[in-house]
Structure 1
Amino acid sequence: MSGHAGAASSLRFGQVVIGPPGSGKTTYCRAMQEFLTQLGRKVVVVNMDPANEGPPYPCAVDIAELVALDDVMEGMKLGPNGGLLYSMEYVEANLDWLENKLKEHGDCYFLFDCPGQVELYTHQTSVKNIFSQLAKWNFRLAAVHLVDSHFCADPAKFISVLCTSLSTMLHVELPHVNILSKMDLIEQYGKLAFNLDFYTEVMDLTYLLDHLAADPFFKKFHRLNEKLAEVIQDYSLVSFVPLSVKDKESMIQVLRAVDNANGYCFGDLEERNLQAMMSAAVGADFQFDSTLGVQERYVETRGKTVEEEMMDL
């Protein structure tokens, strides 16, 4: 069974990795590429950021070969933000170049390392149009939106992040997984006001508003914050998966969320490698329970019972 079981051979699956500058997109792409390769998934990384010179991973397609931010800034007399907006418009106008480059990599799983400027995903349409064109080329993509976990330590910043995440989800129009990155560093930013699940599940934000009201600066904006919280909760779309790229179990949780979002199914070899990895990390008892759940949800049993499939493992 192929890595995208039951899907047409022309389908190509992947992730568009987005998020603010410094949220860890390039680190994520490198870690996810290594992780997926260990699982037996043939993966290529596409650098979609014209400002990303010399990425630290093997790069199958590099948009900087088409348009480089430094050249645009110098030639058009633009600053970094204006240059990046122009660059992505240039990519949109030259999609045939991108299509020909992507055609060189058949039967692969794609990681698109995208630029970080927030306005590209909330206001400007070039990146959204590029994603739409990828869908027309039979790519089945999930947007992986990285947010630095240190924002959890500041209620005002966290509400801002929630608004940005919601706006991005509505604008990009792709299956969406929000990630709280750098979880291994979160304790360096200060003590969280609530347990982690409050932030990942985006529970009752009125508790967060109470914390803001205690700050003299934000007290006068209480009504505004209250309305922002209502908007976020009324949509009921924003939640987060915590991630530390150094933690295999954390990487597995993220991968499961992304594969659920874009419809990718595990093949036999990949599933066995995943279970071996989990077994080595957390022990045989957990491995059995986890395998059972995975078999029921993801793996085609080809007429066998789950128990018979388990015996095969």
Structure 2
Amino acid sequence: VATLQEWMQHQRYDGVAVNLDPGAETVPYQAAIDVREKFTLKEIMNEYSLGPNGAQVVCADLLAVELDWIRGHIEEINCDYFLVDTPGQTELFLYREASKVFVENLSDRSAMILLLDPLLSRTPDGFVTQLLLASAAHLRFQIPIFPVLTKCDLLEPEEVDNVREWATDLDKLAMSMPHLEGMSGVLSSELLRVLQVLALESNLIAVSSKEGEGMDDLYSIIQSTFAGGDDLEAHVDTD
């Protein structure tokens, strides 16, 4: 979020950050809207005598409770883009019903950037699990979803190329899969077949917050979805 916001500001596009992670002690950006003004992970732990995991579940559900408060603040801000930073536990946000309610009612022009773990994605079987996560996101949320290979600077350039090739050609991914015996072999084969039927092949964007890489590609795919590829008018300083 911080890197994309910085890139947009450099390009003179409006983009404000919204923090929805009540467990974050600090965030690397200035949040125009911050759910920690309503509750924090530590407060929920103390109030309900919960450990961190249980409190995270409660916090995920409370996001839907605070939807009107968040949406009200969004309506008060004149801005082209709201960059919403959700809690880092992808599975927690993905599978809670409250998250689905939140996403469906936040705005009628929303998209989701799904961050794929680079170290898991660099192996064929690991990348398949990431595609399954992406397919679950498509099933849960009826909005555009853009899988993005995050922290690509942790991988060698050839590893990034391999992952991007697998994303655009699932046949290559199938050929790269290790030969597995028994139920594991059947499962891997059937999962790949399902992914091919779902047509989840895509031009995977690789980004790096450390290097600032991929922000222009990410912006372009968002623009092609919501504005047919036309840029929003840049906001030029008149001072």
Q: Given the two structures, how large is their TM-score scaled by the length of structure 2?
A: 0.86
Which residue matches 1:207? 175
SS in 2 for 1:173: coil
- TM-superposition CA deviations, 1:156-197 (whole Å, max 9, x none): 211111111111122122111110112222129xx7497343
- CA distance in structure 2 between the partners assigned to 1:194 and 1:266 by the alignment: 28
* Pairing 1:230-309 to 2, within 5 Å after superposition: 230-239=193-202, 240-245=204-209, 250-263=214-227, 265-269=230-234
* Pairing 1:7-86 to 2, within 5 Å after superposition: 29-86=1-58
Between the aligned residues of both structures, percent identity stands at: 27
Structure 2's unaligned 5+ residue stretches are none
Q: Would you say the 8 A contact 1:141–1:262 is kept in 2?
A: no
Matched, 1:168 2:133: no
Which residue matches 1:142? 111
Q: Would you say the 8 A contact 2:5–2:17 is kept in 1?
A: yes
Which residue matches 1:219? 181
Over aligned residue pairs, what C-alpha RMSD do you find?
A: 2.5
| Greater RCO, CA 8 A, separation 6+ | 1
Cα deviation, residue 70, structure 1: 1.3
Q: Would you say the 8 A contact 1:175–1:262 is kept in 2?
A: no
Question: Does the C-alpha gap of structure 1 residues 224 and 196 become closer, same or farther in structure 2, counting only changes over 3 Å?
Answer: closer
Matched, 1:123 2:95: yes
Q: Given the two structures, how large is their TM-score scaled by the length of structure 1?
A: 0.67
Structure 1's unaligned 5+ residue stretches are 1-28, 273-313
Q: Which has the larger radius of gyration?
A: 1
